Amino acid sequence: MTGVMQKCSKVFLQVAVLNRPISIAYLCTVSPKDQYEQMVKKNKVVVFMKGVPEQPMCGFSNAVVQIFRMHGVTNYDAHNVLADESIRQGIKEFTNWPTIPQIFIGGEFVGGCDILLQMHKNGELIEELQKVGIQSALLEQEKKEE
């Protein structure tokens, strides 16, 4: 029985190698780390949250959505960790950060809700957005008022 199994897997391996050399190579090279690195760089702003921006399922995630809305930032990638347990765990390992939400700007990890709120209050968020070419709506508002 074991012999048959070995033979089968050997045949399968050969077929797989012959027919799908590219995808095998792909599977081998894309580690979870690379996967998340690509995910967080896919958009200027990337958020891992509970629920979706239209319906956040957690007060902290909701606060993140509201802060970005105030800055006129609505076109960001939002990953709902409640919909995918592997992302919920994977992103925590990737950033070594234990809680959700998690925010990335320009591919860089910014932190969670508390940090974003602080950056919003002290004006740093406007600067960080500017660095990746996003003009904050609050900045435009300020200019109009001047």
Among 5-13, 20-28, 114-122, 133-141, which window interacts with other proteins (CB under 8 A)?
Answer: 114-122
- Whether a cis peptide bond, with omega within 30° of 0, leads into 21 is no
Which 44-73 residues touch other proteins, going by CB under 8 A?
Answer: 50-51, 56-63
Spatial separation of the C-alpha atoms in residues 112 and 117, rounded to whole Å = 9
Which residue reads 């860089």 in tokens?
108
Among 22, 86, 98, 143, binds other proteins (CB under 8 A): 98
Per CB under 8 A, does 112 bind other proteins? yes
Size of the site for other proteins (CB under 8 A): 24
**DSSP bridge partners of 56:** 51
Query: Dihedral through CA 125, CA 127, CA 129, CA 134, nearest 10?
Result: 130
Per CB under 8 A, does 82 bind other proteins? yes
How many C-beta neighbours within 10 Å does residue 118 have? Answer: 12
Whether 103 and 64 have beta carbons less than 8 Å apart is answered as yes
Which DSSP state fits 111? E
- Of 82 and 139, nearer to other proteins (C-beta) is 82
Among 106, 109, 135, 137, binds other proteins (CB under 8 A): 109
- Of 115 and 135, nearer to other proteins (C-beta) is 115
Per CB under 8 A, does 114 bind other proteins? yes
Interacting residues with other proteins (CB under 8 A): 50-51, 56-63, 82, 96-99, 109-115, 118-119
